[in-house]
Structure 1
């Protein structure tokens, strides 16, 4: 009888250990990280609306990202104006990555001829960016709309501080 009891106790102990062994498990995972090229942007061409003639009324000139201009009533765009340029930017970074372009908010850019009463607003910025780095780079252009006031004095108007174009990986 003692042998049967001892055998029963040993059997219960053996099955108990098996049950405990099956109630837990573990796995091992590795950790990795990949450092990619930082995204960068460089301005290669400044935005220039070129020469504009006005009839004394308020007008707008839209400079498209492709460099073409559209004038409203009150503005005339003389031909042969080689100074007309959409701004151009070059983006570099990790190949085949997507990115976002952030342009200035409307009515945040003012150009002046030195007299604050003669300021003009630049707004409605647009770009022709694809938002994708092909072989780690993309070149794109930025256009905008110039708002000419009625009776705008003649002269050269500039914004010495420029405007910011921001790029970031998606």
Structure 2
């Protein structure tokens, strides 16, 4: 009987020692589903009327819509449609990044062999203009004209991409 009690006593400590080798905790899980980020264009990029020169030049259209001419002239009497591009980003107050192309080509509608390149894009976010969680982006760029650039209407109907992504 002593030996049975001794064996039971040893087993009791052995089982107790095993149960101390593990522990359990209850872990809850949560998630916040964020609305997808959206961008909606409201205004296209318009450099207006430009007078080509005998030398190459540039028109810098800033995000606030002002133009600066270098080596070419802008028509102040008949400026044409001048506007920085504008888009509304809906982002639910989360941080995001903006990606613009390195350059974009405009082609002469009458002669597609004639073209101009837009580059050096600039963007100015104006936070909370429309409502909470929305930003209005204004986009400017530099238009590069060649010497004796052919006159005509230059466009590229494919447009360029403005991409916004959550950080």
Q: Could you state the TM-score of these two structures normalised by the residue count of structure 2? A: 0.87
Partner of 2:76 in structure 1?
Answer: 79
What is the CA-CA distance between 1:130 and the residue it aligns to? Answer: 6.5
CA offset digits 1:94-128 (Å, max 9, x no partner): 2x20111111122x333323312321111111211
1:129 paired to 2:125:
yes
1:57 to 35, 55, 58: 55
Moved more, 38-47 or 133-142: 133-142
Secondary structure of 1:128's counterpart equals: strand
Match of 2:37 among 29, 39, 42: 39
Superposed CA deviations along residues 2-36 of structure 1, whole A, max 9, x for unmatched, are: 43x33322221221111011011122222222222
> Secondary structure of the equivalent of 1:15?
helix
The runs of 4+ residues in structure 1 deviating greater than 4 Å are 130-134
Is 2:87 aligned against 1:98? no
Determine which structure has the larger strand proportion and give its number: 2
Quick check: 2:110–2:152 contact (8 Å CA) kept in 1?
Answer: no
2-side partners of 1:62 and 1:85: how far apart? 12
Q: Which runs of 5+ in 1 are unaligned?
A: none
Name the structure 1 match of 2:147: 150
Between the two proteins, the alignment pairs up a number of residues equal to 165
Distance in 2 between residues matched to 1:101 and 1:148, nearest whole Å? 27
* 8 Å Cα contact 1:89-1:139 kept in structure 2: yes
Q: Distance in 1 between matches of 2:151 and 2:65?
A: 23
The equivalences for 1:114-125 within 5 A come to 114-125=110-121
